[in-house]
Amino acid sequence: MTPINEVIINKKTNLNPIWIMRQAGRYLPEFREIRSKNTDFIKLCLNPILSTEITLQPLKRFDFDAAIIFSDILMLPYGLNQNVEFKKNYGPILDKLDLDKISEMKETDFIERIKQVYEAIKNVSDNNILKGKNTIGFVGAPWTILVYMINQQSPKNQLKKNFFDNKNLINNVLTIIEKFLKIHIKNQVDNGANIIQIFDSWAGLLEDKDLPYFIYNPTIKLVKFVQSLNVPVICFPRNIKDYKKYCDLIKPDAICIDYEIDPEKIEKEINIPVQGGMDPKILLTDKETLKKEAKRYLDIFKDHPYIFNLGHGVLPETDPSMMDYLVKTVKDY
C-alpha cells in the first residue's frame, strides 16, 4: 500500500506523505520549455506523450508520493463540445453554452473528444517511477464546472449579474455535468488513477442558503460514486466557510484545506484525514521561514492522519530549489 493510501485508508499518523497541487507545471524550467513550443493549452493536455512527460517531471526531481495527471478541470466542458481557450495572463474563455448541443452529447463522443487524458493516465500509472506511489486523477466539482460553463470565464472578477436567473438552464446543466463527471471519473480510474480529487475552486462564492443545492447534494452523489469504484476521494472545497459541516454531510475519504482556514480548528473539529493548508506564498520566502511554516502544519497534525500539500496550487515564480527543500523537510520530520 502507498504512503498516501496508508494515511487515507488505514488512518496512519506516523507517515507524512507529500504531493503538491500544480506540482507539474509552471515553476519548472523543463515544463516551460515544452509550453513555449505548445501554446494551445487544451491541445497540450490532449497530447498523451507530452502530458505524460509533464506529469512525471516533478517526480524525477523531487521525492513526491504521487503524480497528479497534467490536465484541467475544463476538459469536462471541452468534452461536452463547449469550446475552451486559455488566454495568456487572463485565463480560460468558454464559448456561449448551447443547452441543446450538450444535451445531445453521447457518452462515446465525449470519451472520443478527451480520450488522450485517459491514455496519459495509463502511461503514467504504468511507469516504473510510480512504483509505491499514487496516480491522482481529478475533476472539478459540479458547482465549479457550472460556474465556468455559464459564466464563460473565471468568476474571480465576478459572476454574471443574471447568473442565477435561468433556473431551468441551471437544473439541466447540473444534471448533464453530474452524468459526464461520473463518466470522466470512471475512465480515469479504469486507466490507473487510484485516488480522485474533486476541486471545488469556487465553493466560497455561495451564500449558506445555496450550499445544499449547488454543493452538498451534487458532491455527495459524486463522492459516493468514486467510493463505489473502491478508490479514495479527496475533496477540496476552497474557501468554504464550514469545513466540519461539509465533511459531516459529504463524507469524503480525506479533506483538503485552503490557507485561509486555521489548521488548529480543523485538527480539533474534523476526524477524517486532512490534506494541505500551507500558503503557496511561503515557498517564495526563505528556507528558514519555509521550514518553520511546514513544521507548524506537521506539528499540528502529528497525531492526525495528514498528507502534506499546499492550500492552493504552487505559484509559477516558485524556485524549484525551495520545493526540493520543502520535500526534504517533510520527509525528514
Average pLDDT (52-65) is 98
Backbone torsion region of residue 135, taken as left when φ is above 0, otherwise alpha when ψ lies between -120 and 50, otherwise beta? beta
CA distances from 299 to 25, 85, 137 (A): 29, 42, 29
DSSP state of 123: H
Residue 161 has pLDDT above 90, yes or no: no
What distances in angstroms separate CA 162 from CA 47, 136, 150, 206, 212, one per listed residue?
A: 37, 36, 10, 15, 21
**pLDDT bucket at 157, cuts 50 / 70 / 90:** low
Q: What is the mean pLDDT of residues 48-65?
A: 98
* Nearest by Cα to 113 from 125, 101, 123, 124: 101
pLDDT tens by residue, 88-113: 888 999 999 999 999 999 999 999 99
The predicted structure's pLDDT at residue 20: 98
Average pLDDT value over all residues in the chain: 97
**Looking at the predicted structure, is the pLDDT value of residue 121 above 70?**
yes
Mean of the pLDDT values across residues 134-163? 93
May I ask the CATH architecture of the domain 3-332?
Alpha-Beta Barrel (3.20)
Closest Cα partner for 83 from 71, 72, 93, 68?
93
> How far is residue 329's CA from residue 321's CA, in Å, rounded to a whole number?
12
254 grid coordinates: 480525506
Q: Of the candidates 117, 181, 119, 111, which has an alpha carbon nearest to the alpha carbon of residue 149?
A: 181
- Asked if 305 and 274 touch (Cβ cutoff 8 Å), the reply is yes
Mean pLDDT of the 214-237 span: 98
Q: Tell me: the pLDDT tens digits for 226-279?
A: 999 999 999 999 999 999 999 999 999 999 999 999 999 999 999 999 999 999
Can you tell me which residue has the cell 454543493?
215
What is the model's pLDDT at position 134? 98
Nearest to 76 by CA among 167, 147, 157: 147
Q: How open is the CA angle 316-121-251, to the nearest 5 degrees?
A: 80
Closest CA to 280 of 249, 264, 295, 258: 258
Task: Answer yes or no: is pLDDT of 214 > 90.
Answer: yes
Closest CA to 266 of 291, 296, 290, 222: 296
- Name the grid cell of 220: 455527495
pLDDT of residue 88: 84
Is the model's pLDDT at 158 over the cut of 80? no
Q: Which one, of 145, 27, 170, 134, lies nearest residue 77 by Cα?
A: 145
> Which residues are within 8 A (CB) of 166 and not within 5 positions of it... i.e. 6 or more apart?
none
pLDDT band for position 58 (cuts 50, 70, 90): very high
Do the beta carbons of residue 175 and residue 213 sit within 8 Å?
A: no
* pLDDT of 199 strictly over 90: yes
The Cα-based distances of 237 to 126, 150, 211, 243, 276 in angstroms read 30, 20, 11, 8, 12
Helices in 90-235 by DSSP H: which ranges?
A: 99-103, 107-125, 142-151, 167-190, 211, 217-228
Q: Where are the alpha helices (DSSP H) in the chain?
A: 3-9, 29-37, 41-45, 48-61, 75-79, 99-103, 107-125, 142-151, 167-190, 211, 217-228, 243-250, 263-269, 287-300, 320-332
